[in-house]
A and B are shown apart, each in its own frame.
Chain A
Amino acid sequence: MLTKKQRRGRWMSLAFWIAASVVTLFPIYWMFVVSAKSRVELFGRPNFIIRNFFVENYTNTLADPSFQRYLINSIVVASSNALLVTTLALLATYALSRYKLVGKENIFFWTITNRMAPPAVFLLPLFLLFTQAFTIGEWKLYDTRIGLILLYCVFNLPFAIWTLRSVIDGIPKELDEAAMIDGANTWQVLTKVILPLARPGLAVTAILTWVFAWNEYLFAATLTSVHARTITTGLAEFVTVTGTNWGQMAATATLTLLPALLFLGLVQRHIVAGLTFGAVKE
């Protein structure tokens, strides 16, 4: 039985969340409204109801064959990068947490400095690396998905290591030591002891690295040309800073959002599973 006070608290929370959701959704909803309007309907008193859906904003984007290619590239790049980063970060944080490595606190801090650099100027050396250093015969790292997957590690790995560090540190050392005494090797400790316990942290890390990779624009814009372009660069292609084709810009942005939404829907369960695991511990 809930007390009166608790019930009132629940209602307050509910009311708060409804308000918060409206604030959160409003910009996205507005983007959707604009995407459904033709150019001539845009100006004047804001109108939140969609009467005639102006489909051409969407068909123009969808009919562009490059759009589908961009979409696939983004999915491949973001997913591979999230997988790679989470794996490497788990190994790295485990090493930093459990082994007595010389200067490990400095290494730990150093990793994060890789995320601090203002990106614009680093594009120049990266461009040279991608086009002139990493080449095999005719093949260049430039304009390849693998190039982006590896490059995104520079800002995603530090992020993952920093989020996972506290998770791994939070798992009592006694647990893996006990497993070792029982004869488990390092690999078994990682997969059988650490992995299940760290799952909530790993899930959140993987999801967020996926999101960062999915959303990245500047590197992808400079280091790809035709074949490995991602959806955000495609967005800029349709949008550009000087884009007034507001309807189509909004439609493209909405389309870009959809796969991410789908992904969010899919992984929600895993966040929940991971999170309730933590709560079950009581």
Chain B
Amino acid sequence: MRSTTIGWLMLAPTLLILTVFGVVPFVYVLVVGFTDWNAFAADPTAHFAGVENYRRLVFDGQFLNSLWKTLWFAIFAVVSQVVLGYFLAQLLMKDIPFKGFFRTVHTLPLMVAPIAVGATWRLLTVPGLGPLPYYLERWFGIEYRLGTYADQAFLTTIIMDVWHWTPLVTLTMLAGLASMPKEPFEQAQIDGANKLQIFWHITLPMLKPTILATVFIRMMDALRTVDEVWMLTGGGPGAATRYVGLHIWRVVFPKTDYGYGAAMSLLTLYLTIVMCWLLYAALVARRELPKAE
């Protein structure tokens, strides 16, 4: 039997750092969330306000709208990334010429900082300067104006996110695929299974931990996207791309509404955790099923 003391010791540095830089700020935010603190209110000091902030939040159309938008953004973006990333990783497992080159090229967008990604896509999409509006109008007659049309802006942020983050999914999938043992596949081929059957009964179950981890990371990162969208649209037009991270940023930075912003953050965090937990539980449960057979 292994000594649990060593186990705890190995875990200790991680727990320490996460407590100091994660839990302590969390507690602070928790407390602030129960106050009416705004640095430029008539009375700028913080007063205990009970659950007033949370009561307001539930009826705050802008906030709820922003949450809703964020959710759709994250779902569209992450699903596309996982499907695309899996497909690309499979292709990279095959023997194709210049594989190393293609993989390097494909990894490039990851190296661009989110704030520069936003800047780059702005350069692509600003009318009068960017090629996208120019050719969309010339070739397809589409009037492409990120500043005017909400749907276009929403779609563009998703495409931008897919462009930026699919490589991450590809890499983790690649690592997952590469570390899979070959025997089950060979056995399945001997048994005469077709491609779909192999994918469904062997690849998918074995890759599930990787997919799970990837979906989680991407999902939570997509839910707190700020930099790219801030650079690209500033949350506009109107509130079309004002995702919750950006919305909160607007509430606590320029508006200095610390109390309300804290409550907003915590509610968002709570919803994210619950959602992830449900996803986690569902996926873990399904992973267990084949064993029971």
- Chain A interface (Cβ < 8 Å from any Cβ of B): 9-10, 13-14, 16-17, 20-21, 23-25, 27-28, 30-31, 34, 42-46, 48, 88-89, 91-92, 94-96, 98-101, 107, 109, 111-126, 128-129, 150-151, 153-154, 157-159, 161-163, 165-167, 169-170, 186, 200-201, 204, 207-208, 211, 214-218, 231-232, 235-236, 239, 241, 243, 246, 249-250, 253, 256-257, 260-261, 263-265, 268, 271-272, 274-276, 278-279, 281-282
Instruction: Indicate if the CB atoms of B124 and A265 lie closer than 8 Å.
Output: no
Tell which of A9, A241, A246, A253 touches B112, judged by Cβ atoms closer than 8 Å. Answer: A253
How far, in angstroms, from A208 to B94 measured CA to CA in the complex? 23
B123 touches A31 (CB 8 A): yes
Chain A nearest CB, measured from B76 CB (Å): 18
Other than A43-B129, A201-B179, A235-B119, give 10 A-B pairs with Cβ distance below 8 A. Answer: A30-B124, A31-B116, A111-B18, A118-B224, A119-B245, A124-B258, A125-B25, A214-B113, A218-B227, A274-B175
User: Does B237 make an interface contact (CB < 8 A)?
Assistant: no
Interface with A: B141-149, B190-198, B273-281, which one?
A: B273-281
- The B interface, classified by DSSP as helix, strand, loop or mixed, is helix
B217 within 8 A of A: yes
Q: Which of the residues A96, A112, A126, A274 comes within 8 Å of B25, measured between beta carbons?
A: A126
Q: Decide yes or no: A166 and B209 within 8 Å by CB, A14-B97, A24-B106, A111-B14 being known contacts.
A: yes
Contact of B105 (CB < 8 Å), options: A21, A150, A159:
A21
Contacts of A253 in B (CB 8 A): 112, 116, 119-120
Q: How large is the interface on B (under 10, 10 to 19, 20 to 34, 35 or more residues)?
A: 35 or more
Given A24-B163, A46-B131, A264-B104: A96 in contact with B11 (beta carbons within 8 A): yes
Contact of B28 with A by CB under 8 A = yes
Minimum CB distance partner of B133 in chain A:
A46
Question: Are A13 and B94 in touch, CB under 8 angstroms?
Answer: yes
Contact assessment for B114 and A121 in the assembled complex, using a CB-CB cutoff below 8 Å: no
Which B residues between 255 and 293 are near A, CB-CB below 8 angstroms? 258, 261-262, 264-265, 268-269, 272-273, 276-277, 280
Given that A20-B106, A91-B10 are known contacts, is A236 also in contact with B115, CB under 8 Å in the complex?
yes
B44 within 8 A of A: no
Once the chains are docked, how many angstroms separate the CA of A109 from the CA of B281?
11
Partner of A28, one of B112, B175, B231: B112
User: Is the beta-carbon distance between A118 and B245 smaller than 8 angstroms?
Assistant: yes
Whole-angstrom CA separation of A145 from B179 in the bound complex: 36
B60 → chain A, closest Cβ, in Å? 15
* Chain B residues, Cβ within 8 Å of A274: 175, 178
Q: Which residues of A sit under 8 angstroms from B130, Cβ to Cβ?
A: 30, 46
Interface membership of B55, Cβ < 8 A: no
Q: For residue A126, which residues in chain B have a CB less than 8 angstroms away from its CB? A: 21, 25
Q: Closest A-chain residue to B183, C-beta based?
A: A282
Set of chain A residues within 8 Å of B163, measured between Cβ atoms: 23-24, 27
Docked complex Cα distance between A200 and B181 (Å): 14
Contact between chains at B217 and A241 (CB < 8 Å) = no
- Chain A residues with Cβ below 8 Å from B129 are 34, 42-43, 46, 246
| One of B14, B25, B123, B171 near A129 (C-beta < 8 A) | B25
Contact for A120 among B11, B14, B209, B245, CB less than 8 A: B245
Cα A260 to Cα B14 with chains together (Å): 27
Bound CA–CA A28/B288 (angstroms): 43
B134 touches A46 (CB 8 A): yes
CB of B227 within 8 A of CB of A257, answer no
Kindly report which residue of chain A lies nearest to residue B111, judged by CB atoms: A260
Q: Which residues of B contact A96 (CB under 8 A)?
A: 11
* Whole-angstrom CA separation of A177 from B95 in the bound complex: 36
Q: Which residues of B are found within 8 Å of A10, using beta-carbon distances?
A: 94-97
A-B contacts, 9 listed (Cβ < 8 Å): A17-B96, A111-B18, A124-B29, A150-B17, A167-B175, A204-B172, A204-B175, A241-B234, A260-B111
Tell me whether A157 and B18 are in contact (CB under 8 A).
yes
Q: Are B113 and A235 in contact (CB under 8 A)?
A: yes
A163 and B172 form a contact (CB under 8 A): yes
Decide if B124 touches A16 in the complex (CB within 8 Å). Answer: no
Q: Give the nearest-CB partner of A171 in chain B.
A: B179
Report the minimum CB–CB distance from B188 to chain A (whole Å). 14
A162 touches B217 (CB 8 A): yes
Cβ of B230 under 8 Å from chain A: yes
Q: Are B14 and A157 in contact (CB under 8 A)?
A: yes
- Whether B61 sits at the interface, judged by CB under 8 Å, is no
Inter-chain contact B113/A281, CB cutoff 8 Å? no
Are the C-beta atoms of B7 and A99 separated by less than 8 Å? yes
The answer to whether A95 and B268 have CB atoms under 8 Å apart is no
A88 lies within 8 A of B128 (CB): no
Known: A162-B216, A169-B209, A257-B112. A154 touches B276 (CB 8 A): no
Contact assessment for A116 and B24 in the assembled complex, using a CB-CB cutoff below 8 Å = no
Tell me, rounded to whole Å, the shortest Cβ–Cβ distance linking A245 to chain B: 11
Query: CA separation between A25 and B167, bound complex, in Å?
Result: 13
Kindly report which residue of chain B lies nearest to residue A261, judged by CB atoms: B111
Q: Does B121 contact A (CB under 8 A)?
A: yes
Which residues of chain B from 125 to 170 have a CB within 8 Å of any chain A CB?
A: 128-131, 134-135, 163, 168
B249 contacts chain A at the CB level, 8 A cutoff: yes
Kindly identify which residue among A114, A123, A165, A282 contacts B22, using a CB–CB cutoff of 8 Å: A114
